[in-house]
Amino acid sequence: MQKAINVIALLSGLVAGANVALAGYLYFNRVAIFEDAKAKVTEAAVEAVTSALPGMVDGLMPDIPEVPSATGGVVPSVPGL
């Protein structure tokens, strides 16, 4: 029974040590982790806007009317206007 308790205590110590090591790693590398996350979010946002922009611009542009090949006759001027 004592051996089982010693194994459990050893595993508990290893888990606690791993938690401390992970917390230390995250603390000392937090700036790099945040900068990497910001860069990824910015890249994703730019990509989303870039892919959506042509469709939005095409939808907002009015249709260009066709230019006639010839114009009509001269409209006479009305005296007094």
Judged against a pLDDT cut of 80, whether residue 77 lies above it is answered with no
User: What global pTM score does this model have?
Assistant: 0.50
| The three-state (H, E, C) secondary structure of the chain, written as one string | CHHHHHHHHHHHHHHHHHHHHHHHHHHHCHHHHHHHHHHHHHHHHHHHHHHHHHHHHHHHCCCCCCCCCCCCCCCCCCCCC
- Tens digit of pLDDT for each residue in 17-63? 999 999 999 999 999 999 999 999 999 999 988 887 877 777 777 77
The residue ranking higher by pLDDT, 61 or 15, is: 15
